Chains A and B, each alone.
Chain A
């Protein structure tokens, strides 16, 4: 019940054109743009350069500091680790780089993974930094995602902090009585804590449902308000994936 939640959010308030576009339009544009990036042949380095430049221009337009994007890109670290392994473990033709005997296929694979992952994650960072979470949900609903799934996602976002707080209080209560999980014999205790947390969440779910029923809930969420996007906004947003697709296509033709 404490008020000291970390107010972590990916959203960066702003008024740029990227901020103003409706969420459903941005979602579609981002997914298509990522697909276009993945489709680009890996041998055409310039294509990836074009993608990167366009993403940087968009970030600057939206007023998102490049350093922030770089920091958020850290999420792809596990993939980078995997990409670095590829040249060592992949089979096929070998080549010598700086005295290391590496697989050519592996090197290409690593480059492709690194480039597409970095660009793809950057696009989603752009989306997340310019779109509040609840609008992402509204956008998904407008894109005809089943309401039940959108509801579950929305509840997950709403209650993540509450559950994390509950977990933290349980941990503090354990530790206050001298418990520190240091080896495998302590796992049953942690298991029981997890079980207790599950039961608490389940019971909270029932209470939330009661509270919803009490305000006239009949199994259907009220529809989101506001109008859909106009053709012009769709055109504006889709110009990004169209540009990327054109670059990929040109690159494929040149290969």
Chain B
């Protein structure tokens, strides 16, 4: 198996000097589903924005399927890394869902037939084929979140990065999204506070706290370790517990 994602000593400070990441090492293999956990302000979203070159590392390196992220290959990197942002209203800006899903493939310069085929496939994967021609603001929140997933699936990414995919979803929409994500044959890095969701979807979890990776373990094992969780301000919802393996 080859590496879908490899971070080596990734460090980043904001222009105002605020340190966000300090020597992050992380390798994700192709086909893996990994949860990225950590308290608010730990730098999870900042990390995600390094994966497709929106932020540039102050030091260290980022590689996607063996290709280093640098200014020269941003177009290819952004095809390989699909980021689903937290607020679907930020991601869906075209007049209809179909146009929005077609936005990425068209930027890749694909032909009309190929774009149409990718759009159809992506919408089928997230089960939104019947609302393709509706404006995004006529969709329910859960549908919009799935539409946002479709917009990056249409780019045929090597790795899907989801920022808080379960936030603001009602339980049914949360389950529907989980079913969609489990049915995809793609590498996933999922940023979340929703620990049961991480357990359901991701066999492996890493904890980002104090600007670096603090733990990297099978999700079930990590969530069973109360001491470890408490150290990084992570908590299972009331009434939940994961049995020690």
Partner of B90, one of A208, A217, A223: A208
Q: Are A210 and B49 in contact (CB under 8 A)?
A: yes
Q: Are A158 and B54 in contact (CB under 8 A)?
A: no
Q: Are B107 and A211 in contact (CB under 8 A)?
A: no
Do most interface residues of chain A lie in helix, strand or loop, or is the interface mixed?
A: helix
Contact residues in A for B93 (Cβ distance below 8 Å): 155, 158-159, 208, 211-212
At the interface, yes or no: B112 with Cβ under 8 Å from chain A? yes
Q: Are A211 and B85 in contact (CB under 8 A)?
A: yes
At the interface, yes or no: A230 with Cβ under 8 Å from chain B? no
At the interface, yes or no: B87 with Cβ under 8 Å from chain A? yes
- Determine the interface band of chain A, counting residues with CB < 8 A from chain B: 20 to 34
At the interface, yes or no: B68 with Cβ under 8 Å from chain A? no
At the interface, yes or no: A169 with Cβ under 8 Å from chain B? no
Q: CA separation between A44 and B85, bound complex, in Å?
A: 61
Partner of B96, one of A134, A162, A223, A225: A134
Q: Are A5 and B137 in contact (CB under 8 A)?
A: yes
Q: How far is the CB of A176 from the nearest CB of chain B, in Å?
A: 20
- Contact flags B44-66 to A (C-beta < 8 A → 1, else 0): 00000100101000000000000
B87, B104, B137, B155: most-surrounded residue (chain A CB, <10 A): B137
Could you tell me which residues of chain A, from 205 to 242, have a CB within 8 Å of some CB in chain B?
207-208, 210-218, 222-223, 225
Q: CA separation between A207 and B83, bound complex, in Å?
A: 12
Q: Are B87 and A207 in contact (CB under 8 A)?
A: yes
Partner of B95, one of A7, A137, A162: A137
Contact residues in A for B126 (Cβ distance below 8 Å): none
Contact residues in B for A214 (Cβ distance below 8 Å): 52, 54, 78, 81-83, 85, 152
Partner of B78, one of A159, A204, A215, A223: A215
Which residues of chain A have a CB within 8 Å of any CB of chain B? 1, 3, 5, 7, 133-134, 137, 154-155, 157-159, 161-162, 204, 207-208, 210-218, 222-223, 225
Q: List 20 A-B contacts (CB under 8 A).
A: A3-B139, A134-B95, A134-B99, A158-B93, A158-B95, A158-B137, A161-B137, A204-B89, A212-B103, A214-B52, A214-B78, A214-B81, A215-B82, A215-B103, A216-B79, A216-B107, A216-B108, A218-B75, A222-B107, A225-B115
Which residues of chain B have a CB within 8 Å of any CB of chain A? 49, 52, 54, 75, 78-79, 81-83, 85, 87, 89-96, 99, 102-104, 106-108, 112, 115, 135-141, 151-152, 155, 168
